[in-house]
Amino acid sequence: MSYSKLADNMYVVIGGAFPKCNTVVIIADEIVIIDPGCVVEDLRRFLMTQDIQLKDIGTIILSHIHPDHITHAMRLNRLSNCRIAANEITAPLFNNKEEMKRFLGFDKGNPVRKLWERFVDERMYGALDEGRVDEVLCDGDKFNLGEVTLRTLYTPGHLPDHMCIELLEPNLVFTSDIDLTEFGPYYGHPNSSISDFESSIRKLRYGSYDGIISGHLKDPLVLDYKDRLTAYSRQIGMREDLVLSAILEGAKTIPEITANPIIYPSLTNPVFLQFETWMIEHHVASLLGNGLIEEENGKLVAV
């Protein structure tokens, strides 16, 4: 178990890379957990160092509906009877897991739906448990926890429901899956949006935080976040150049582009091929929108 101290009453239990995530713990008027996706035993062991037990958790806040971020929400809810808070887009998805699957592109017609469900159950067990959000949040809503105030900040793109959580004291922001990992921005669902993702990155860059907290880095607190966000954002353009190169070299369809994967280096898992395909589809739409390629009789050609 490893954790990082952000302030006297604020910590991150390190979950690290997908399919885990970093979990923020705030010890104030109540115990607040943001994104319970770290190993639950690590969370329990960390809380013990503070003379707290899992059953003492008062509130869980979810940044968005991805299984790696909501993994233990219902397990902890059953243990502690804590309230679960999520924004107005996330809440109905959490309350109805079939809606969640549809939102993520895994409707009943998706050929890899069963494989994805199995992957979630094996690696993020509990994320598909039925449950209910107790408190529905809107953009800019505040949580006053005595010495600590939290505020929601909508940052769509990764998914339409993605939000960050500002920690007004000590002037930090948990940026969840705007995570500054080497992998780069992830927009691998039909309703992800590259342009919204770029806008959300700009929104964070214009902020005057003392640092940001990544949902997946092993060293979660990033102080030089403005430069890091610029480099992170640049990866989108680099990928788009690779997609354009593939089309210039003769790839005429999305399957022909993904035959040489651009996002994931090796595609042995059909679920990841699905994620790759959705990401490439966003780039192709972007290239079409920018007039750099055209579609003729279902075939992509460079202009």
Distance CA 144, CA 268 (A): 46
Q: Spell out, one character per residue from 253 to 272, where the chain touches Zn ion: x when CB under 5 A holds, - when not.
A: --------------------
| Nearest distance from C-beta of residue 186 to Zn ion, angstroms | 7
Q: Is the CB of 156 or the CB of 239 nearer to Zn ion?
A: 156
| Nearest distance from C-beta of residue 300 to Zn ion, angstroms | 28
DSSP states of 123-151 as a string? Answer: HSTTTT-----SEEE-TT-EEEETTEEEE
Residues 160-179 contacting Zn ion, CB under 5 A: 177
CB 209 within 8 A of CB 225: yes
Residues 177-206 contacting Zn ion, CB under 5 A: 177
Q: Is the CB of 66 or the CB of 283 nearer to Zn ion?
A: 66
| Nearest distance from C-beta of residue 158 to Zn ion, angstroms | 5
Sign of the C-alpha dihedral computed for residues 113, 269, 262 and 160 taken in this order:
positive
The residue count for binding Zn ion (CB under 5 A) is: 2
| Nearest distance from C-beta of residue 214 to Zn ion, angstroms | 12
Q: Is the CB of 104 or the CB of 222 nearer to Zn ion?
A: 104
CB 222 within 8 A of CB 231: no
Joined together, the tokens standing for residue 80 give: 């502690």
Report phi then psi at 3, rounded to 5.
Answer: -145, 165
Residues 43-82 contacting Zn ion, CB under 5 A: 66
Burial class of residue 266 (count of CB atoms within 10 Å of its CB; 0-12, 13-18, 19+): exposed
Q: Which residue is nearest to Zn ion (CB)?
A: 66
Give the footprint of Zn ion on this chain (CB under 5 A): 66, 177
